[in-house]
Amino acid sequence: MPKDKLRLLFITYQGGLAGSTNSIAYLAKGLAEKGHEVFVGCRQDMLIWDLLEGSKVQRIPMTFKGKFDIENWRQIRDTVKKHRIQVINAQSSYDRYTAIFAKLWYKLKVEIVHTRRQNPLSAGGWLQKWFYVKNTAGIVVISEGLKTIFAEKGYPKNHLKVIHNGIPAERLTQWNEETVEKFRQQLKIKATEKVIGCVSRFKEQPQIIEAVAQLNDPSIKLVFAGIEQSQLQPYIEQFGLKNEVICLGDVSGKEVLNLYRLFDINILASTMDGFGLVLIEAMAMKCPVIATNFGGIADVVQNDYNGFLFENGNITELSSKIKQLLSDQPTRDKFIENGLTTAFETFSMESTILNYEEYFYGLVSKN
């Protein structure tokens, strides 16, 4: 017997240029395509608003001016009542609070789920933990590594549900040789150069700078997407890096896959990422990866199977693995082959959507 369609509200006060924005958009659109009534509450000036345009997802303008944004509480109340929402899935800090306050203040009959995608800079102390756990049906974390981090911070393991991120297969086809060649010309990549890339907001990129400086290999060119030259210049000077460094600033999701086709290695140096979607994108583009052995990154990268992991702050280890991956063709071939399996099979968006769907059905059926 077919199940009734779900009525879901995703809310986020962020939704800018970040991997999490794409993940929310993929999930919302995927659930809507399966016939569920899906609404996303977000700010109209954010990227996620544009990403959802033309889809089956219904967008709701919301303010999110802070935890105590009473206007936002009312917006959530009105959406829940008008559309008979069964589950609110809050994605970021302000909306995690406003969803709960709206439910409590207006006595809304709705389940609240938080999704956590990054290693929290702060767990907020015992009061916040108590408040979140008491007033949510559960907290979704996007990797086993992130679940461990939250459990160590005092969150009950049985309140944490692991659902990995995924990438739609069609997303991984959004590149073409013309755009790859355009970037090749823009970056002035020579046949003799080895390109090491990083696609990320500012995190631990200085470790990459220091590791490459130790190699003293003039054939290496560094390309950073997501940050500006001014953010890295102090570290370039500090570590005496002589290699060319190019910072592209923000690169749109529609274009970034083309960059991976030019990278000899993609490195994610981070102690924030709960998953590492950029690593899967790189694998899909046949680009070998190196990443920090931290949090949920190890859910994606299995050391010496589909990439290399290095310990945070161990510059000698990172430098050694860069050197090996640039020169060891059998290892490169192994990482590329296994990376394709990881990208197209292990972390498919279809699996992510199905897991969320089953989880939400389980919450609704309890009422």
pLDDT tens for residues 309-364?
Answer: 999 999 999 999 999 999 999 999 999 999 999 998 888 899 999 999 999 999 99
Q: What is the rounded distance in angstroms from the CA atom of residue 362 to the CA atom of residue 355?
A: 11
Considering the four listed CATH numbers 1.10.10.10, 2.60.40.10, 3.40.50.2000, 2.130.10.10, the one that applies to the domain covering 7-166+348-365 is 3.40.50.2000
In three-state form (DSSP H/G/I as H, E/B as E, the rest C), the secondary structure along 103-117 is: HHHHCCCCEEEEEEC
Banded model confidence at residue 16, pLDDT cuts 50, 70, 90: low
Banded model confidence at residue 122, pLDDT cuts 50, 70, 90: low
Banded model confidence at residue 2, pLDDT cuts 50, 70, 90: low
**Exposure letters 265-300 (e unless 16+ CB within 10 A, then b):** bbbbbbebbbbbbbbbbbbbbbbbbbbbbbbbbbbb
CATH code for 170-346? 3.40.50.2000
Q: What is the rounded distance in angstroms from the CA atom of residue 138 to the CA atom of residue 148?
A: 15
Higher pLDDT, 295 or 269: 269
Answer whether residue 19 shows pLDDT above 80. Answer: no
Banded model confidence at residue 253, pLDDT cuts 50, 70, 90: confident
Banded model confidence at residue 111, pLDDT cuts 50, 70, 90: very high
Put simply, whether the predicted model's pTM sits higher than 0.85 gets the answer no
Q: What is the structure's pLDDT at 123?
A: 57
Q: What average pLDDT does this structure show over 264-281?
A: 89
| DSSP-derived secondary structure letter, 287 | -
**Domain segments of the chain as ranges:** 7-166+348-365, 170-346
Interacting residues of 26 by C-beta distance below 8 A, sequence separation 6+ = 166, 167, 168, 171, 349, 352
| CA distances in angstroms from 243 to 11, 187, 210, 218, 250, listed in the order given | 43, 14, 11, 6, 22
